[in-house]
Amino acid sequence: MTETTTVEPTETQDASSIISAIAKGDTVGAGNSFEDIMQQKKLAALDARRQDFAASMFNAPSEQEPAVEEE
């Protein structure tokens, strides 16, 4: 079986692509690079949140004392 690994660009590479596009005067390219970077960050955060939710979903709930209602 062949495994495929992907290397995500680091923040330095991301920033350099935006800076080089701005230096060339390519505002559309800089905007697209920025949008791509932000999309990657949103997807990474969403994936981390999904993993946390899935892990907590199957763990036993912590024992809490039942609330006592006063009359």
Look at residue 33 in the predicted model and tell me its pLDDT: 92
Amino acid at 25: G
In sequence order, the 6+-apart residues with CB closer than 8 A to the CB of 40 are 8, 9
Amino acid at 39: Q
Look at residue 13 in the predicted model and tell me its pLDDT: 72
Ranges of the chain whose pLDDT falls below 70: 1-12, 60-67, 71
Nearest one of 32, 35, 43 to 8, comparing CA atoms: 43
**Distance between CA atoms of 17 and 50, rounded to whole angstroms?**
29
